Amino acid sequence: MLSDYTGILIFLIICAGFAGVVIGLSYVVGRRTVSKEKLMPYECGVDPIGDARIRFSVKFYLVAMLFIVFDIESVFLYPWAVIYKELKVFGFMEMVVFIVILLIGFIYAWGKGALEWE
């Protein structure tokens, strides 16, 4: 049984070796010139103004996390849709429960004002 994975192990060793060789070669062959321009942060072609360490509002992170949660949860609809006919009524009811739980969470977040940009 272990011999079935020998090919995968060899492939992983080759990939890791190749990555190590390329990184090592770039360190040995690459030029290292340091200048003021290279040490400046790049801001889409615009010279940076002010400090890069500004504080973001907590709402920014909250909206980002809510987007990720609802976006990832919507991905679960695709496998369900593929095997919908095999699951019949039981699968449909389970997905209805899943969507209702998501809807309750969305309404709660909306009611708390978590989705408002001020």
pTM for the structure as a whole: 0.51
Determine the structural domain holding residue 97 and report its residue range. Answer: 2-111
**DSSP-assigned letters across all residues of the chain:** -GGGGHHHHHHHHHHHHHHHHHHHHHHHHS-----HHHHSPPBTTBPP-S-S-PPPPHHHHHHHHHHHHHHHHHHTHHHHHHTHHHHHHHHHHHHHHHHHHHHHHHHHHHHTTTT---
Residue 116 lies inside a defined structural domain of this protein: no
Confidence of residue 30 (pLDDT cuts 50, 70, 90): confident
CATH number at residue 89: 1.20.58.1610
pLDDT by residue (tens digit) across 11-25?
999 999 999 999 999
pLDDT at 40: 74
In a domain, 117, yes or no: no
Instruction: Identify whether 76 is part of a domain.
Output: yes
How many domains are contained in the chain? 1
Does 118 reside within a domain? no
Assigned domain for 105 exists = yes
Whether residue 21 lies inside any domain: the answer is yes
31-71 pLDDT per residue, tens: 888 888 777 777 676 766 777 677 777 888 888 888 888 88
